[in-house]
Amino acid sequence: MQQGHKVHTVVPALPILLSADLEVLPRFTLGRVFSDWGIDPIPFVVTVWAVGLYVLGVAVLHRRGDRWPVGRTLAFVGLGMGSFFFATSSGLGRYDTTLLSVHMVQHMLLSMVVPLALALGAPVTLALRTLPPAPRRWLLAVLHSQVAKVLAFPPLAFALYVLSPWALYFSGWYDASLASAFVHQMMHVHLVLVGTLFFWPLMGVDPVPGRVSHPFRVLLTIMTLPFHAFLGVTIMGQTTIIGEEHYRELREGPMGAWLPAMLDDQHLAGGILWATGDLIGVLFFGVLFVQWLRSSMKEAAREDRRLDLAERRSSPSAVE
């Protein structure tokens, strides 16, 4: 009976300890984003494994005399996994449940910058060039599977990408992520996966399902811009506080001395979503347009060579 009584008294104390951990956070400043690091085990392990496997693949290519573009390595390792680790383990990760505006910066990094950079790194192409025969066949089977084709179907990927943020902030999902560390981690995974499903086929570097023509890629990218703007403006304009219970509890504790008003922080968060979403979208549009232009120039050059060859074959001198 005494042992049972001890369990009963210890378990309710755990949330108090967790709340105390949150209350010791000092005033947020831009400098703390870069100086206040907290290594989260799951993002750390994911980053180490992903970077390690990618670098190992590049080393395998170099050992057999093949070349791999340095730009792709920098995109995957530096910008892609670097942004993932920065978003989850720097000051952004430390304050992402304290300020909605900080969470929104993290959201945009995980849902846009990380997927775009990983796609530019072409890890699937690297894997297909370096894996042994059996794992390579397994990877090809996954890429050609019906499930992969359905998930990468552009209209479905587009719908998931533009609608999931609405579901996140206007349902109980975001509140659950503030109350549960597991749900919080799964939210991060969701942001990266949905961004990957949408951007990877559009980038067109890897041989993944769902790749479409350049005009359609540009069209889909343009179509995302109003959704980011509308969601950002909606968050800025509404008077209902997202995650109100959690954020109000924080302001009733010691951090209330420096935390901004909930509505002001939410207004800033909406502006961040609107501005960064459109900015990254426009930059991606520029990348796609350049790809389209280069592809058209290559196609024109191939057509010119084909016509020149046909003309030489049909000329009188060629007949003689």
- Do residues 85 and 38 touch, judged by C-beta distance below 8 A? no
In a domain, residue 236? The reply is yes
User: What is the number of structural domains in the chain?
Assistant: 1
Write down the pLDDT at residue 19.
43
User: Residue 23 above 50 pLDDT?
Assistant: no
* Residue numbers of the domain that contains 191: 36-298
Distances (CA, A) of 288 to 78, 204, 268, 279, 284: 21, 9, 30, 14, 6
Q: Where does the pLDDT of residue 12 fall: very low under 50, low under 70, confident under 90, or very high at 90 and above?
A: very low
Write down the pLDDT at residue 87.
95
Rounded CA gap, 147 and 301, in Å?
37
In a domain, residue 137? The reply is yes
pLDDT tens column, 217-265: 778 878 888 888 899 999 998 889 999 999 999 998 888 889 999 999 9
In a domain, residue 174? The reply is yes
Write down the pLDDT at residue 260.
93
- Judged on CB neighbours under 10 Å (0-12, 13-18, 19+), 235 is buried
94 three-state secondary structure: helix
In a domain, residue 291? The reply is yes
In a domain, residue 304? The reply is no
Q: Where does the pLDDT of residue 15 fall: very low under 50, low under 70, confident under 90, or very high at 90 and above?
A: very low
HSE of 225, CA atoms in CB hemisphere, 13 A: 12
In a domain, residue 77? The reply is yes
- Do residues 108 and 280 touch, judged by C-beta distance below 8 A? yes
In a domain, residue 314? The reply is no
Rounded CA gap, 219 and 210, in Å?
15
**Predicted structure pTM score:** 0.81
User: What residues have CB less than 8 Å from 238, skipping those under 6 apart?
Assistant: 266
- Do residues 218 and 203 touch, judged by C-beta distance below 8 A? no
pLDDT tens column, 76-116: 999 999 999 999 999 999 999 999 999 999 999 999 999 99
The amino acid at 207: P
User: What residues have CB less than 8 Å from 183, skipping those under 6 apart?
Assistant: 173, 176, 177
pLDDT tens column, 273-312: 998 888 887 787 777 777 667 666 666 666 556 656 666 6
Write down the pLDDT at residue 317.
54
- Written as six digits, the tokens of 240 are 């209902």
In a domain, residue 219? The reply is yes
* Longest CA–CA separation in the chain, Å: 108
pLDDT tens column, 158-216: 899 999 999 999 988 999 999 998 999 999 999 999 999 888 888 878 887 767 777 77
User: What residues have CB less than 8 Å from 107, skipping those under 6 apart?
Assistant: 165, 191, 273
